[in-house]
Amino acid sequence: MRDTNTPDNFAIFDKEFQNKFTNWAYHTARRKQGGYSHNTVVATFSVLKIWLNGATEAGLITTKDYRKYPSKGEDVDNIALTVDEIEAIYRLNIPKLISEGVIDTKSTIEATRDLFIVGCWTGLRRADIARINEALFDLANNRLTIQTQKTNEKVIIPLHPFVCELYAKYHGRFPKLIDKSKANGQLQELGRLAKIDELTSRSSVRGGKIVTEHLMKYQRIGFHTGRRSFATNLYLQGAPTISIMKMTGHKTEQSFLKYIKVSKVEHSELMQKFFK
Same domain, 60 and 99: no
* pLDDT bucket at 39, cuts 50 / 70 / 90: confident
Contact between residue 42 and residue 73 where contact means Cβ atoms under 8 Å apart = yes
On whether residue 132 sits in a domain, the answer given is yes
On whether residue 156 sits in a domain, the answer given is yes
**pTM recorded for the entire structure:** 0.74
Q: Angle CA(211)–CA(205)–CA(215) in degrees, nearest 5?
A: 40
Same domain, 172 and 261: yes
The structural domain count of the chain equals 2
* pLDDT bucket at 66, cuts 50 / 70 / 90: confident
Same domain, 137 and 60: no
CA 159 to chain centre: 21
Same domain, 214 and 255: yes
On whether residue 112 sits in a domain, the answer given is yes
Task: State how far the Cα of 86 lies from the Cα of 121, in Å rounded to an integer.
Answer: 9
Nearest to 185 by CA among 129, 108, 261, 133: 108
On whether residue 273 sits in a domain, the answer given is no
Same domain, 109 and 244: yes
Task: State how far the Cα of 250 lies from the Cα of 260, in Å rounded to an integer.
Answer: 11
- pLDDT of 246 higher than 80: yes
Nearest to 39 by CA among 79, 80, 71: 71
Q: Calculate the average pLDDT of the chain.
A: 86
Give the whole-number percent of the chain exceeding pLDDT 70: 85
On whether residue 44 sits in a domain, the answer given is yes
Residue 209, classed as helix, strand or coil, is: strand
pLDDT (0 to 100) of residue 42: 77
On whether residue 217 sits in a domain, the answer given is yes
Task: Dump pLDDT digits (tens) for 68-79.
Answer: 887 665 555 588
CA distances to 35, 38, 46, 71, 275 from 50, in Å: 24, 19, 7, 11, 49
Q: What's the domain range around 233?
A: 83-265
Q: For residues 142 and 263, which has the higher predicted lDDT (pLDDT)?
A: 142
* pLDDT bucket at 212, cuts 50 / 70 / 90: confident
Same domain, 64 and 89: no
- CATH number of the structural domain spanning residue 118: 1.10.443
Same domain, 154 and 191: yes
Same domain, 137 and 19: no
pLDDT (0 to 100) of residue 90: 98
Same domain, 63 and 87: no
Task: Dump pLDDT digits (tens) for 7-36.
Answer: 777 888 888 888 888 888 877 776 656 677
Same domain, 57 and 143: no
CA 193 to chain centre: 22
Mean pLDDT, range 154-163, rounded to an integer: 96
Same domain, 64 and 92: no
Which one of 45, 68, 91 terminates a domain?
68
Mean pLDDT, range 178-182, rounded to an integer: 94
On whether residue 243 sits in a domain, the answer given is yes
Task: Dump pLDDT digits (tens) for 68-121.
Answer: 887 665 555 588 999 999 999 999 999 999 999 999 999 999 999 999 999 999
